Each structure stands twice: as structure tokens, then as C-alpha cells.
Amino acid sequence: MLPFQNIPWKFMLVLAWITPACHGGGGEGGSYVRDACSVTIHQDLCIHSLAPFSNKAKNHPDRWARIGLSVTISQVKTISSSLSKLKRQGTLRGRSQMALWDCVECFEDALDSLHRSLGVLRKLNAKNFTTQMGDVTTWMSAALTNEDTCLDGFGRPKRKQVRWLVNKVTNVSYLTSNALALVNKLATTGP
């Protein structure tokens, strides 16, 4: 299974509609996103999720880092909302219910860390660059840890609803991993 197969179909539909224009049949836009995503583990997901921004970000690592993080935040918000809704419904029981409650808290913490990171990326400056990048990578690593902690609580899910949830959380962790890789690339290239 490809990592981007579990992204909501509406999101993929929009990407499918936008991506050909951004890839430009292998033109410059496609080259920019492929180059940016070359440092990520989940390259297909990176390319598909960031292609619409290729002509805006071009070959600027700071823009790719902000865009990757913004796309991640958007998806984390969506999953966080789904988790909270599922928690309110109260349909899960036992271990799955406890894991869900922990997961909601983990995603709130992850979202906070991601927002803090984006705030710093928007205000980067040469004087404090090293400290700022240290803070951002620490917070993004914490967000990824929170997402992984959420997954750990479910073990091997049997219910379809829980498997769906685990797939969604897994995809978000892939996006976060990709965004962290883009941030790390920025940290090594400088302001």
C-alpha cells in the first residue's frame, strides 16, 4: 500500500486536479518539488501533497519548510477533529476507548508543537537562526513522538473504525516526518 492512499479522497481529488498544472509535464515546477522532497522518507506523499505549491516555493528551503509544515498542520487539525468527534460519540470501549482518549490529548499537544514551530519559521533571522532551528526541530520531533504515541495505544486494531483511525494517524505522521525533513534541510542550508 502506498503511504498516500489513506489521505481523504476529497484532498486527493483536489490534488489530482491541481497537480498536472503544477508538475507542468516535468517542467520547472515539478523539478522544484522533486528536489525539495528528495530529502524526505515518504517522497511520493511529499510530492503529491506539496506539488500545488511548487511554483511559489521554487528552490527556497525556507518556503518549503513553511509550506510542508502548513500542509501538515491542516491534516493534523482534520484528524484531531475526527478524534474528538469519535470521542464524543462514545462508540469505542475498553482498550480502544482509552487509546482514543490518549490520542486526543497527544494530537492536541502535537498541534501546539506544530503551531509553535510555524510561528518561529515565519520569523527566522540570521542572528538567531541556529537557536530558532533547534527549537523548531525539537518541537516537530515532539509532535511526531505524540503522533507515534497515539498509534502505540491501539496495538493491532480489529474494528474497522479503529483501523481507519490508525491509517489516518499513520498518514499524518508521514506528513510530519516529511515536514521535519524539510526543516532539517533548511537547518543545514542556512537562512
User: What DSSP assignment string belongs to 166-179?
Assistant: HHHHHHHHHHHHHH
Tell me how crowded residue 179 is: count the other CB atoms within 10 A of its CB: 30
Grade residue 104 by pLDDT with cuts at 50, 70 and 90.
very high
Closest CA to 85 of 161, 5, 7, 172: 161
Task: Return the pLDDT at 170.
Answer: 94
- Ranked by mean pLDDT, the top range of 11-20, 36-45, 80-89 is 36-45
Distance from C-alpha of 132 to C-alpha of 129, rounded to nearest angstrom: 5
Grade residue 176 by pLDDT with cuts at 50, 70 and 90.
very high
Instruction: Read off the C-alpha cell for 52.
Output: 500545488
Give the mean pLDDT of 150-166. Answer: 82
Give the mean pLDDT of 29-42. Answer: 90
Give the mean pLDDT of 157-185. Answer: 91
Distance from C-alpha of 132 to C-alpha of 111, rounded to nearest angstrom: 18
Distance from C-alpha of 168 to C-alpha of 45, rounded to nearest angstrom: 13
What DSSP string describes 47-70? HHHHGGGHHHHTT-HHHHHHHHHH
Instruction: Read off the C-alpha cell for 170.
Output: 499513520
Of 101-110, 115-124, 163-172, minimum mean pLDDT range: 163-172
> What digits encode the pLDDT tens for the residues 73-100?
999 999 999 999 988 998 888 888 899 9
pTM of the model: 0.82
Distance from C-alpha of 102 to C-alpha of 38, rounded to nearest angstrom: 34
Give me the residue label for grid cell 481507519.
Answer: 164
Task: Return the pLDDT at 91.
Answer: 84
Q: How far is CA 129 from the centre of its chain?
A: 23
pLDDT, mean over the chain: 85
Distance from C-alpha of 79 to C-alpha of 107, rounded to nearest angstrom: 8
Closest CA to 33 of 22, 21, 17: 22
Grade residue 160 by pLDDT with cuts at 50, 70 and 90.
confident
Percentage of the chain exceeding pLDDT 90: 65
